[in-house]
Amino acid sequence: MVLEEVEREFSLGKKDAADGIPTYYCPGENLFPLMEKLKKDFEVLLDITAVDYLGKKEKRFEVVYHLLSLSGKMRVRVKVEVGEGEKIATLSSLWKNANWLEREVYDMFGIEFEGHPDLRRILLYPEFEGHPLRKDYPLKKSQPRIKLLRPERK
């Protein structure tokens, strides 16, 4: 199985999560080669997302990748720790949907992906300032695009 192979090659430590999906922490510079290897067995990139550990961890963000192996009927989770202002490698040359998924992470967290062909906002609009899923973005801070007839909140 490719998992044992990459464990040895990249000397990854395995962690078991509550849901039984094998979880690996991977240093940022190894991400692309690791994913390239994993792709042999894990054909589908399910999801890319991030978590903001503001003030809880040394490096602020964790980018979380979920992969699915259709042949082996299993999933794997890979995490990369990213500090504020750091960039990580894009996977858009490996999986086509990585393009949009990474744009979403960029939009929501402001994490930049190096080498991404088209890194711009996807869910929000270009005028929007800040990144809403960061823990320091207030829940109710809206940024209207047009002049409103009345203030939104009292």
Partner 1 sequence: MKGENFVTTTVESLIGWARKYSIFQYPFVTACCGMEYMAAAASHFDIDRFGAGLTRFTPRQADVLFVVGTISHKLAPVLRRVYEQMTEPKWVVAFGTCTVTGGLYDNYATVQGIDAIIPVDIYIPGCPPRPETVLDALIKLQEKIRKEKQKWSLRK
Partner 2 sequence: MEKMLLNIGPSHPAMHGTIQIKVELDGERIIKADVEIGYLHRGFEKTAEHRTYMQVIPYTDRLNYVSPLLNNLAYAMAVEKLLGIEVPPRAQWLRMIFGEISRITDHLTCIAPIGMELGAFTVFLYAIKAREYLWDVLDATTGARLTTSYIRIGGVRADVPENFEDLMKKALAETRKSVRDIHGLLSRNPIFLKRTRGIGVVSQEDALSYGFTGPVLRSTGYYYDVRKAFPYLYYDEIDFEVPLGERGDNYDRYMVRMKEIEQSMRIIEQAMEKMEKGPVRNEDEVVEAYEAIKAAQEGKYREGKLKLNPNLEGMEKEVYHLIMARVPRYILPPKEDLYRTMEGMIRHFKLIMSGHGLRPPAGEVYVPVEGGNGELGFYIVSDGTDRPYRVHLRAPVFSIMSALAEMIEGHYIADVVPTFASLNMIGGELDR
33 vs 132, beta carbon nearer partner 2: 132
Q: Which is nearer to partner 2, 2 or 64 (CB)?
A: 64
Binding site for partner 2 (CB under 8 A): 17-19, 21, 43-47, 49, 51-52, 56, 64, 66, 68, 70, 73, 75, 77, 95-97, 99-101, 104, 108, 121-125, 132-133, 137, 139
Instruction: Work out how close the CB of 8 gets to partner 2 at its nearest, in angstroms, rounded to a whole number.
Output: 25
Phi, psi of 4 (to 5 degrees): -65, -40
Smallest gap from residue 143 Cβ to partner 1 (A): 7
Cβ 16 to partner 1 shortest distance, Å: 34
43 binds, among partner 2, partner 1, none (CB under 5 to 8 A by kind): partner 2
Q: How far is CA 67 from CA 14, 60, 84, 121, in A?
A: 15, 23, 25, 24
